[in-house]
Each structure stands twice: as C-alpha cells, then as structure tokens.
Amino acid sequence: MRELSRTRLLAAFLGLGAVGAIAEVLVDRGAMIPQLALVAPILTATALAYKPGDPPRRAWIWLACAAWLAVVGESAHLLFGPPVSRPLMSLSNALWCVSLLDARRKIVRGALVPPLARAWRWALAAAVLLAVLVAIDAGRELVAADRVDARQFHIAFVQLCDGVVLIAGTWLLGALHPLWGGAAARPFLLVTAAAGCFAASDLAPVFALLPAPRLWIRALIIGGWALLGVAGLAQLELRRAMFARTADLQASLRALGPRR
C-alpha cells in the first residue's frame, strides 16, 4: 500500500510539473496559471476534507488561500501587468508564512513530537542567523536606493517571507524527523520541500553565475507548486485512510452486537 501510494504521488508530481513546464514554454505571461489552476483546487479539497476544529484544517486553508491568491496574481499579471499583480503575490507569500507557523503551533500544542535533537537545534540557529542576514541585506538595499519603488518593496518583502519560511520549515523538518518515512509526516515534509524551492528561487544572485539562470529559477517555482499539490494529495490520502480505519472499527463494534 505504501509503495503504491508513493508511486501515485510521484506520478502526480511529474504530471503537475509537466503542466507547469509546458505552460512555461507555450505561454509568455501568466505561464503559471494552468498549474496553479490544478494545485489550488487540490489544496481546497484537502482543507475541506477536515471538519472545523480538526488540527490540520487551518494550515491547509492558509495554503489554499495562498494558492488561489497566486492564481489571481498570475491572472492580474497577464491582464494588467506587474503593478497590479505584485500586492497579490506578496500577500500569497505572507499566507505561506502563516500556514507554516500555524502548523508549527499545532504540533507544539499537541505535543506530537519530542523536543528538537541537538543537531536540529544547531540547524535552527543557522536558519535564524541566515534569515537575519537576509533581512539586513533587504533593508540595506531599500536604504541604499535613491527611490524605493513597488518592485523593490515587493522583492524585500518576499525575501523577509523567505526568512520566516526558512526558520519555520527548518523547525518542521527537525520536529518531524522522528516520523520520517511514515505517512503522517509525508504531507508536511512535502510542504517544507516546496517552501524550500520557493525560497531558493528568490535567491536570484545565487543563480547569476549559472547558465540560463531564469530557467533554473522557473524550474524551482514549477517544482515548488508541484510539490505543494502533491502534499495536498498526500494529506487527502492520509485522511481517507484514517476515515476507512475508523469506519472498519465502527463496523467491528456493531458486529459485536449491543452490550448486555
């Protein structure tokens, strides 16, 4: 069952990635719309699969909202250009941060995992240091600019969001490390991997020395959205499996007959 699940998830990742890659080749502006139009409904279905009050529900709602905002942002970019799309994409990045922070809070409050191991505490400290350096660099770029325009503000805001995502994602990886390989950890590991792809795609100077830097950046963005869609499917599969086990248990109890 697990191997079949992994096969399906790999096929979904390749399919979503192929949609994004084909759209990137065929469409000049708004290239992400076809892929996002698949990912956003998946995340919405994932959020709606849980009842109000269930711990995972709100984190997936934030992710679904981020995806739908990205759909609207890409559509606005296609129709009206960057001045209209930038605020929407900035808000989408902010909701990413909210989702990961909410997932972290739920895990801590539910005491689902033991404290971070020493190696992961060092990794978290390094992530905090890197996020602070990113924030300092973003602030310095704004201060050094003769005139701060919407594009520079958007880039700085996205970099700050990347810092938050880096910290929250590192913590999630460390917190879920004891569960790696299990179905319960798989959706959040995929979400964290997607967040890593998006954070890496925004570090444009890193790709400046590579051949075809835009191709690398777009590949990371396409891969990130594909991973996010697969994370939603993995969570849906986990929910269905839990529902099936609960139904089997209830059927077994009914088969025992009324208690005397």
Is residue 112 very low, low, confident or very high in pLDDT (cuts 50, 70, 90)? low
Burial 103-116 (b: 16+ CB within 10 A, else e): bbebbeeeeebeeb
Which backbone phi and psi does 259 adopt, to 5 degrees?
Answer: -75, 140
Angle at 190 between CA 27 and CA 162, to 5 degrees: 70
User: Is 106 in contact with 55 (CB distance < 8 Å)?
Assistant: yes
Q: What is the CA radius of gyration of the chain?
A: 20
pLDDT in tens, 149-207: 777 787 788 878 877 877 887 887 777 776 655 667 788 788 878 877 887 776 665 55
pLDDT in tens, 37-96: 999 999 999 999 888 878 778 889 999 999 999 999 999 988 888 888 888 888 988 888
Question: How far apart are alpha carbons 98 and 252 in whole angstroms?
Answer: 41
Which of 103, 109, 36 lies closest to 76 in space, CA to CA? 36
State in Å, rounded, how far the first CA of the chain is from the last one: 38
Q: What's the pTM?
A: 0.81
Which backbone phi and psi does 86 adopt, to 5 degrees?
Answer: -60, -45
Under DSSP, the state recorded for 259 is -
pLDDT in tens, 191-223: 878 877 887 776 665 556 667 677 888 898 899
Half-sphere exposure for 221 (CA within 13 Å, toward CB): 22
